[in-house]
Homo-oligomer: A and B are copies of this chain.
Amino acid sequence: MDKVKETAKKIRTMEIRGAGRIAKAAAEAIRDYAAGLEAASMEEFSSSIQEVSSFLISTRPTAVSLPNAVKLASRYSSGNVEEARQEIIKNANIFIERADRALEKIGQIGSRRIQDGDVIMTHCNSHAALSIITTAFKDGKKISVIATESRPRRQGLLTIRHLNGFGIPTTLIVDSAVRYYMKDVDKVIVGADAIAANGALVNKIGTSQLALAAHEARKSFMVAAETFKFSPGTIVGNPIEIEERAADEVVDPAIIADLSHVQVKNPAFDFTPAEYIDMIVTDIGIIPPAMAYTVIKDHLGWEVEEI
């Protein structure tokens, strides 16, 4: 339990951050806890596992990969303690291995959709989206990329550095220039913070503007997302909260210190409706956004009752 608490603390303090790392840490914590759990009866085993699962999930309620990892890692069907323990260890390891390979699989699958000569626009700095782009380039496709600055935190600077490392020709633009350059774009590829039951995408602020402009010009809009990004809570109506970040990311406080009628708003994410998304590239293949409910129910294994 100490190790579980340690993991939980690291997740809470954001020492462990990023959907994938959180997911794996949680699965490992469950696995190791189950491996060492001394239980006199199946009831005791069950209730301990249940308790630890709930505890882990509660450490960062907004991290959608956390309940998915705990759910998939803590499954067992046997009524025998030893067998159940082995099931958990096996399921946790399967989850961890799949999570490890998810980015690679998304890269391979998405890369097949890229054509020689494609100009790809991307936003922010998504590992899954970049996996598709760099895989396609390594597969020999002559592509180029238009990367947005992604204010306020300018993650676009990470993206151009990453792509430059692969030798991929890349153009940096300000976020306001997205529609201006859309006529030159063949495909837009972005990542996902979360995907809701009705197929809506939650991602870095500005994503929905790329989607809208791509839709207007009928350019393909692809989302790259590991299946643990699908939000089980949305099935029962839980809204996905949009984090409001500090004003000083947007403007130096000194500049607005004396502007008493001015406030700054800095939402970290926005919503992209399913109708603007052509496909979601996941580790279990390409799906339309309307399949989100099925992914949550059949692939992640959630029942409405337990959410």
Interface string of A272-285 (1 = CB under 8 A from B): 01110011010011
Contact check, A198 vs B287: say whether CB atoms are below 8 A apart.
Answer: yes
A37 at the interface (CB under 8 A from B): no
A213 contacts which chain B residues (CB < 8 A)? 209, 212
Contact check, B206 vs A262: say whether CB atoms are below 8 A apart.
Answer: no
Whole-angstrom distance between the alpha carbons of A170 and B256 in the complex? 11
A174 contacts which chain B residues (CB < 8 A)? 151-152, 175, 205-206, 250, 266
Contact check, B251 vs A274: say whether CB atoms are below 8 A apart.
Answer: no
Contact check, B172 vs A251: say whether CB atoms are below 8 A apart.
Answer: yes
Whole-angstrom distance between the alpha carbons of A147 and B224 in the complex? 32
The minimal Cβ–Cβ distance linking A225 to chain B, given in whole angstroms, is: 14
A94 at the interface (CB under 8 A from B): no
Whole-angstrom distance between the alpha carbons of A233 and B72 in the complex? 27
A180 contacts which chain B residues (CB < 8 A)? 205, 208, 267, 270-271
A35 at the interface (CB under 8 A from B): no
Whole-angstrom distance between the alpha carbons of A273 and B219 in the complex? 11
Known: A180-B270, A217-B217. A237 touches B112 (CB 8 A): yes
A246 at the interface (CB under 8 A from B): no
A236 contacts which chain B residues (CB < 8 A)? 108-109, 112, 285-286
A: residues with CB less than 8 A from B are 108-113, 115, 148-152, 157, 160-161, 163-164, 167-181, 183, 197-199, 204-206, 208-209, 212-213, 216-218, 234-239, 250-251, 255-256, 259-267, 270-271, 273-275, 278-279, 281, 284-294, 304
25 contacts between A and B (CB under 8 A): A110-B237, A112-B238, A160-B262, A164-B262, A167-B261, A168-B261, A169-B261, A171-B265, A172-B262, A172-B263, A176-B204, A176-B270, A177-B266, A177-B270, A180-B271, A183-B218, A197-B287, A197-B288, A198-B278, A209-B209, A209-B213, A218-B218, A237-B286, A289-B290, A290-B290
